[in-house]
Structure 1
Amino acid sequence: MNMQMPVRETRCPTHPGELLKEDVLPALHLPVTEAARQLGVSRQTLYKIIAGTSPVTPEMAVRLGKWCGNGPGLWLRMQQAYDLWHAEQALGKVLEAIPSHAVG
């Protein structure tokens, strides 16, 4: 049986903060300060997410999902894809040396 590793994406997935910065806030015509107030978080917290230096936590995903009307799933999936890509990049060759065992 020939088991192959899934092909790794070469392009980093978009951090959810970029979606906020590039699409959501401009569409709502809101500055970060007002968006943070409406979300019930500090301005610094929202700035860090927008800068891509802080992750969207499950709690923040719930807040964003309610605020945007699209639920928390989108925000968590985006963060998960971003985090997994970075973990795979960091492990690099180490992953290639780990054998895969299919159970089933």
Structure 2
Amino acid sequence: MRVTNAMRPVHPGEILGEELQELGLSAKSLAKALVVPTNRITAILNGQRGITADTALRLSRYFGTAPQLWLSLQQAYELRMAEIELGDDIAARIQPRDLAGSVGAEAIGR
């Protein structure tokens, strides 16, 4: 699938970068506040690393957000990337199961 800029998924690092810019913070200062190596933050900001549960907990503590926010951003990014990279192939190779009648009949005991 060809991806245009309008369809391009947003990496959580882009969102984090916007937050840092608005607050006038550097990757180094955020890393120090989160007690993590600076290269972890720069890799996230550059889209080379995802946000892990550990990082989500640290970001949520620092920014006063829910950890799920950061994990949801990461999950949405990964799912969109998978759709772009694998979606057409999966659609071509896997046929949906015909559920007409089978699930409903079992559910009501027929």
TM-score range, shorter chain: 0.7 to 0.9
CA deviation digits over 1:27-81, x for unaligned, max 9?
2221111110001111111000000110001111111111111111111111001
TM-score (norm 1): 0.81
In the alignment, structure 1 segments of 5+ residues that lack a partner are: 1-9
Alignment match, 1:77: 72
User: In 2, Cα distance between the equivalents of 1:33 and 1:94?
Assistant: 41
The one-letter amino acid paired with 2:80 is: W
User: In 2, Cα distance between the equivalents of 1:46 and 1:65?
Assistant: 14
Counterparts of 1:5-20 in structure 2, within 5 Å, are 11-20=7-16
User: In 1, Cα distance between the equivalents of 2:8 and 2:57?
Assistant: 24
Q: 2:88 aligned with 1:93, yes or no?
A: yes
Match of 1:92, SS state, is helix
Q: 2:32 aligned with 1:37, yes or no?
A: yes
Larger deviation: 25-34 or 40-49? 25-34
Query: Over the residues paired in the alignment, what is the CA RMSD in angstroms?
Result: 1.7
Cα deviation, residue 26, structure 1 = 1.8
User: In 2, Cα distance between the equivalents of 1:35 and 1:25?
Assistant: 8
Larger deviation: 91-100 or 12-21? 91-100
TM-score (norm 2): 0.77
Match of 1:54, SS state, is coil
- Is the radius of gyration larger for structure 1 or structure 2? 2
